Structure 1
Amino acid sequence: MTHSADRIARYVAAGWWTEDTIDQLLRVHVAARPGVLAIVDPLDKTTHLDGPIKRLTWAELEADVDRVAGVLHARGVGPGDVVAVQLPNSVELAVTFLAVVRLGASVTPFPVQYREYELAQLLPLSGAALLVTGRDSRAPAGTPTLSWPADLEGADAPAPPPRTAAPAEQVTICWTSGTEATPKGVPRCHYDWLAVESVCTAAPALTAGDVILNPFPMVNMAGIGGVFLPWLRSGAVLVQHHPFDLPTYLAQIAAERVTYTLAPPALLTLLLHQEAILARADISSLTRIGSGSAPLPPPMVRGWQEKHGIAIINFFGSNEGVALLSDPAHMPDPETRARYFPRPGAPGAPVLLDRVSTKLVTPDGREITEPGVPGELRLSGPTVFAGYLPGTAVAEPFDEDGYLRTGDLFEIAGEHGQYLRYVDRAKDIIIRGGMNIAPAELEGLLAGHPAVAESAVAGYPDDVLGEKVCAVVVPKGEISLESVVAFLRDKGIASYKLPERLEIVEALPRSPVGKILKRELKL
């Protein structure tokens, strides 16, 4: 999907979209500060990816990007192609991403936990001609593959021909679970990615003096829009981290003198309550932390600010369109920042939100203008994508006025209607450690279990990951959590989707029209 010529003209005229491109951001820092440190590998990299732990300057990063672009070009990758990438957060992932974009191709990134089941679904949908991976690739047989370090570390090829990217070029196809069993492809170009970046760079006021620790996988909005692109814009140091390991995470904050990072709210709450953990860690360099994906507890946001002098920035968004943020500059009171988002266009809202247009809509289509009435948030603006990859979505994501239907419920709040308050997640998503899990996918697989008559999959709270997966089953034979997990493992699904709890019930709660009422499940 591509943006219409009319939309491009309007947003460029308004100054919301510029002629900047991702490769151009890299080249600016290479030219201005070639010898300055740019990117650092995880401390525990060798447990997840073969090869040495790297620390690259901007000039060294540029040399690696150009070299890998040459190797990819020699394999036939060029403008308009799609390259699948399945790597943990690392220098290699950043180099691969930037090399693919330099060639005018698109990156379709996959979580490292994906196995045969997911890759067999998504590789054909993406149209990827090549998969770049590390150790233990689970790609379907016959998939053209390049591997780090075997095929790419030190490999050489003629430099690709120079080219100038157009900002409307597609650069990624990310994947969102949604409420459907099959993930939906979310294409994005330089224009809308860099509009996302501008919000995520401005909220924490990032500069070249910052050191950014990225614990979120670079497969979706948080990792790419929230960290990777703001790093390229600001010229800060990027410290990679993934998969998440708390001791390593805290050690990197201390060793690299990290000033900004992201963390899920459940982890921030846990650390605040586990004073002994923080007492053994040096977090004195940290000044702010971005969080989101779930409501922020006000005592947590206040606790970090009062005990540690660290401001928590509240983000709300999705792969399809970043929408809202609460930052300490505009909302200094931590409890207000946790509970509310500035309503775009309202007095006192951040200037960057003026380019976002929102409305709340009741189920019968009425637009809500009064406080205290929940409705679906719909939005439009330069951070919103153009539409799903053809063949990956059933429903039209936009309403008749061109607003994105988010599926999330908010209400107008504040004495002057200046805030939006999150009410609930209408989409039936489980968010485990920042990774979206579609219950419909697991329910469809469990329907084939010989001892399952009916099932419903839902999330239950977890102090570290936010949510974990529970399978609620009406049995027709002997069943256990172990047998459910073994059955799903045999299907080749990613391990983070596997249920960690099983509940046996005689019947699933249903509405008068037969819809399963997941809120009535006893979890």
Structure 2
Amino acid sequence: MKHLADLVPYEVRRGWAADGLYRDRDLYSLFREHVLAGPGRIAIVDADGGISYAELDLMARSLAVGLAGIGVEQGDVVGIQLPNGRLACAFDLAIAALGAISLPYPVGRGDREAASLLSRSGAVAVVTTTFYSDYPCAQRTRALAGELPELRTVIAAGDGVVPAGCVPVAALLANDPARFEPASPDPDGPARILVTSGSEAAPKMVLYSHNALVGGRGRFIGELIGDTPELRNYVMVPLASSYGSNGTSVTLAVHGGTLVLLPKFDVTAALAMIERARPTHVLAVPTMLRMMVDCPELDRYDTTSLRVVALGGAALDATTAARVRETLGCTVVNVYGSADGVNCHTALNDPPSHADTAGRPNPSVARLRIVDDSLRDVPAGDVGEIVSLGPMSPMCYVGAPELNERYRTPDGWVRTGDLGRIDTDGYLHVVGRRKDVIIRGGMNISPAEVEALLATHPAVRDVVCVPVPDDVLGERLCACVVADPAPTLEELTAHLAAQGLEPRKFPERLIVVDALPLGAAGKVDRRAVQELVTP
């Protein structure tokens, strides 16, 4: 992974730097500035309490020395599969300081997906938790090493016995931080791989430079800070998600704020954390806020610190936006974005009547165009594909030249596959998506991946997966199968679990039919299936 192409032309990147949109600094050196300016300020509030900038820096430096000691070098990829907390942030910073590339992916993902990500990225090391609930992450990851020739080290963190063959995280933390020497990597060089939640059969891996994270995603969060004197940002989504990259890289390294974290989302725990940590901003998916405003215990908690709730990862409807705004008394921002390098959001001063738009594109983050199939701009107000180019544009897709060919143009633009239009006032309306993807509570599920695994069940002769609407999660997955004998939903999900599929991708509804409806071309008519399963 030491030679990765940037598909945005060099002169375009340098133009953004000349315009002041890039600071031309690497992530760790920016974080270090905040350490020196206010060592005692609280960097993170998590399940274990608060940790200062100086304390977090010492932790990151110790980890960096430890990672270097096991052979991690500049340009190497290191996987991070940890729950939200200070350790995940410290590893983020340590990897950046070495000039290596972080590959965060959420806990709870199955063996198949972990193996695919680590293999395709060429990761030389990975840190993972010993257990996630009762799932032995470190042990299962270590068992994958035989099929991952480049993976040299599995680091185990968390409670429980360290599995044989794994390095305990305590051994890295025991290193002397005074021995640390930062690498000062090229700001236009690779820093982090963002993992999509699956619009392809296998998740896409999208490579970002230091400048793209600082100058692109950092500027996006800067627009949401407004006149807030001190950013206290509660990131409810996993730090390892695309949206979660606004945690360590942006909240800490760019803006020097306080990052509020919990290892997983729970409604009452989230409300208690808001009361305790007093965040000014929340980054979440709409499902989380629907659950919070519906919580019968909401009035027991003080949420008056909240100024901005920024909701992304799934479509935000005007009804949900209004309920959150009225219930919590804060500004609700609708965020349209993805790991692929697109961002647009409503502004802090936009009227509520624009809540169901994606706001006006900000060229200092990402310029957007609406194009036809030949990539020509369509007339104003017409629907077309959304394409994006700007300071936040990623370098390339990792280990997937076919995706670079499909989704990147020769001059660096990203083809999103989403359909939209820009109205006469300049607001973006996202009207659909070409990608065959189901969004469950902000998580993208590839029907192709689930269908391929269900088709291996001995009773299943044909299968198609489609979304069914859900008031809380937005969409749930329904499997429509032709099978003999007819399986139960429990049998099918057990079959998927045995193949390593993560539970969040399991179908939650099953319909058994004699035959799947076909269209004129002889292919399964998904629209007819959708009508069949939708109440």
TM, length-normalised to structure 1: 0.89
Cα distance in 1, alignment partners of residues 234 and 327 from structure 2: 21
Please name the residue that 1:334 is paired with: 352
Counterpart of 1:20 in 2: which secondary structure? coil
Give the equivalent residue in structure 1 for 2:77.
82
Look up the equivalent residue of 1:155 and give its one-letter code: A
Deviations along 1:290-312, whole A, 9 cap, x unmatched? 00222222133233334432110
User: What residue in structure 1 maps to residue 390 of structure 2?
Assistant: 381
- In the alignment, the residues of structure 2 paired with residue 66 and residue 304 of structure 1 have an alpha-carbon distance, to the nearest angstrom, of 40
Match in the other structure for 1:46:
none
1:268 to partner: Cα distance? 2.6
Which residue among 308, 320, 330 is the counterpart of 1:288?
308
Measure, in 2, the Cα distance between the counterparts of 1:326 and 1:181: 31
CA distance in 1 between partners of 2:525 and 2:290 (Å): 29
In structure 1, the residue matched to 2:29 is 24
User: Is residue 157 of structure 2 the alignment partner of residue 155 of structure 1?
Assistant: no
Structure 1, 79-88 or 374-383: larger mean CA deviation: 374-383
Helix, strand or coil for the counterpart of 1:323? strand
Secondary structure at the aligned position of 1:276 is classed as: coil
Structure 2 distance, partners of 1:475, 1:167, is 54
Distance in 2 (CA, whole Å) between partners of 1:466 and 1:513 is 31
Structure 1 range deviating more: 498-507 or 126-135: 498-507
3-state SS of the aligned residue for 2:396?
Answer: coil
| TM-aligned CA deviation for residue 200 of structure 1 | 2.0
Mark the CA change 1:462 to 1:231 in structure 2 (over 3 Å): closer, same or farther. Answer: farther
Indicate the residue corresponding to 2:125 in structure 1.
130
Give the structure 2 partner of residue 233 of structure 1.
254
Is 2:89 aligned against 1:94?
yes
Counterpart of 2:141 in structure 1 is 139
- Which of 408, 414, 423 is matched with 1:398 structurally? 408
Whether the 8 Å CA contact 2:236–2:261 is kept in 1: the answer is yes
Pair 1:189 & 2:209 matched: yes
CA distance in 2, matches of 1:173, 1:504: 40
| 1:442 maps onto 2:450 in alignment | yes
SS at 1:156 equivalent: coil
Cα 1:431–1:134 shift into 2, 3 Å: same
Measured against aligned partners, the alpha-carbon deviations of 1:377-411 in whole angstroms (never above 9, x if no partner) come to 11211111122113364452123554211011112
Aligned partners of 2:92 and 2:248 also within 8 Å = no
Q: Displacement, 1:284?
A: 1.6
Partner of 2:366: 356
Instruction: Identify which range, 250-259 or 175-184, moves more after superposition.
Output: 175-184
Q: CA contact under 8 A between 1:378 and 1:403: conserved in structure 2?
A: yes
**Residue 409 (str. 1) matches residue 433 (str. 2):** no
Percent of matched pairs sharing the same residue: 33
Bigger mean CA deviation after superposition, 392-401 or 245-254? 392-401
- Which residue is equivalent to 2:5? 2
Q: Is the 8 A contact 1:211 1:239 kept in 2?
A: yes
The aligned counterpart of 1:308 is: 328
Over the residues paired in the alignment, what is the CA RMSD in angstroms?
Answer: 2.3
Equivalent in 18, 21, 27 of residue 13 of structure 1: 18
Kept in 2: contact 1:270–1:463 (CA 8 A): no
User: What is the distance in 1 between the residues matched to 2:43 and 2:443?
Assistant: 27
1:262-309 CA distances to partner (integer Å, 9 max, x unpaired)?
22223333444x363322322122121000222222133233334432
How many positions carry a matched residue from both structures? Answer: 499
Which residue is 1:349 aligned to?
none
Once the two structures are TM-superposed, the CA of residue 453 in structure 1 deviates from its matched residue by 1.3
Counterpart position of 1:503: 511
| Cα pair 1:196 1:225 within 8 Å, conserved | yes
SS at match of 2:51: strand
In 2, the alpha carbon distance for the partners of 1:119 and 1:187 equals 17
TM value normalised by structure 2:
0.87
For 2:364 and 2:189, how far apart are their aligned partners in 1?
25
Cα distance in 1 for partners of 2:193, 2:295 equals 41
Q: Is the 8 A contact 2:101 2:192 kept in 1?
A: yes
Q: What secondary structure does 2:370 align onto?
A: strand
- Distance in 2, Cα, partners of 1:226 & 1:293: 15
The residue number in structure 2 matching 1:103 is: 98
Matches of 1:119 and 1:507, distance apart in 2: 35
Alignment of 1:180-259 (within 5 A): 180-194=200-214, 195-205=216-226, 209-225=230-246, 228-259=249-280
Structure 1: which 5+ residue stretches go unaligned?
43-52, 345-351
Higher deviation after alignment, 470-479 or 30-39: 470-479
| Superposed displacement of residue 218, structure 1 | 1.4
Decide whether aligned partners of structure 1 residues 404 and 206 sit closer, same or farther in structure 2, where only a CA change above 3 A counts.
farther
| Shift, 1:512, TM fit | 2.1
CA distance 1:228–1:290, shift in 2 (3 Å): farther
Residues 365 and 131 of structure 1, relative CA distance in 2, 3 Å threshold: closer
Structure 2 unaligned segments of length 5 or more: list them: 131-135, 146-150, 163-167
Determine if the alignment matches structure 1 residue 57 to structure 2 residue 55.
no
Provide Cα deviations, 1:215-271, integer angstroms capped at 9, x if missing partner: 111123200136751343222211112321111111100111122112222333344
Quote the Cα distance in structure 2 between the aligned partners of 1:354 and 1:7: 13
1:398 counterpart letter in structure 2:
R
- 1-structure distance, mates of 2:470, 2:288: 9
TM-aligned CA distance change 1:343 to 1:39, over 3 Å: closer
Output the amino acid matched with 1:18.
R
- The residue matched to 1:442 in structure 2 has which SS? helix
Check 1:270–1:113 CA distance in 2 against 1; reply closer, same or farther (3 A cut): closer
* Gap change, CA 1:178 and 1:515, over 3 Å in 2: farther
Maintained 8 Å contact 2:482/2:515:
yes
